[in-house]
Amino acid sequence: MLVLFDIDGTLLHGRPEGHTRAMVDAMALVWPVPVVPDDVWAVDPPGRTDREIARLVLRGHGMPDAEIDGGMADWMALAARLHDEVAHAHPAPVAAPDALEVTAALRAGGAEIALLTGNLEPIGRAKVAAAGLGDRFGDGGGFGSDAERRADLVAIARSRATGRHSDGDVVIVGDTPRDIAAARVAGVRVVAVTTGAFDAAQLAGADAVADGLAAALPLITA
Ligand SMILES: [Mg+2]
């Protein structure tokens, strides 16, 4: 079994302020446009990839797609570097209750676990490490630096897995309707948790819904 964990709202709780700051400051330097953090919050970011968020924010400032595409690689590198510099000035990400126990239980049961997140890889890994979960996840996973479309990250994460897992043995754990939509496109199971911005009714399209990771564990392995 391969269990793919979303980061924000799932493994980590709280608003990713340092992450947003780094994305915004990097946009303002690369394109350059007068982007502010509220521009990010205004594009309904939960479940979107960082690249998708950047594109929506820049379009809102009148930037043509060709220019957005031209700066994307520089922006990803700069955002990661700025995150290293500014993260300490913002509240540290907090691991979800039971995140350590649940990931340990899955591994003890023989499951492979990896990250599946819209975060740019260096930023996502830094946040997970700052929350004390860095030793849980290996080199695999799928990140917002790998693709702009969240659904595309599933195949990338599967290709990087150590083992080969059939569709029925892959489970996404996430907190947004976009995690569910990605699972549906990819043809894999999804367990949703209500620890992000969405309640059980909004996540009813998942195969199962739990109020946190501890409650999600038996649903993941079911
Ligand atoms: Mg999330």
Query: Which domain, by its residues, includes 44?
Result: 17-89
DSSP-assigned letter for residue 142: B
Asked whether residue 15 carries a pLDDT value surpassing 90, the answer given is no
Co-location of 118 and 161 in the same domain: yes
| Ligand 1 centroid distance, CA of 5 (Å) | 9
Using pLDDT thresholds of 50, 70 and 90, give the confidence band for residue 138.
confident
Co-location of 48 and 97 in the same domain: no
| Ligand 1 centroid distance, CA of 142 (Å) | 13
DSSP-assigned letter for residue 208: E
Co-location of 76 and 98 in the same domain: no
Q: How far apart are CA 35 and CA 66, in angstroms?
A: 18
| Ligand 1 centroid distance, CA of 169 (Å) | 21
User: Which of 89, 105, 135 represents a domain boundary (last residue)?
Assistant: 89
How many domains does the chain divide into? 2
User: Which of 70, 89, 108 represents a domain boundary (last residue)?
Assistant: 89
User: Which of 41, 70, 89 represents a domain boundary (last residue)?
Assistant: 89
| Ligand 1 centroid distance, CA of 40 (Å) | 15
Co-location of 67 and 106 in the same domain: no
Residue 150 tokens, joined: 């969240």
DSSP-assigned letter for residue 4: E
| CA separation, residue 92 to residues 123, 133, 175 (Å) | 13, 13, 20
| Ligand 1 centroid distance, CA of 148 (Å) | 15
| Ligand 1 centroid distance, CA of 213 (Å) | 13
| Ligand 1 centroid distance, CA of 46 (Å) | 6
Q: Which secondary structure element, helix H or strand E, spans residue 189, and what is its range?
A: strand 189-193
Co-location of 47 and 123 in the same domain: no
Co-location of 35 and 107 in the same domain: no
- Three-state secondary-structure class, residue 206: coil
| Ligand 1 centroid distance, CA of 122 (Å) | 17
What digits encode the pLDDT tens for the residues 18-41?
999 999 999 999 998 999 999 999
| CA separation, residue 69 to residues 63, 73, 98, 145 (Å) | 10, 8, 39, 13
Rounded to two decimals, the pTM is: 0.97
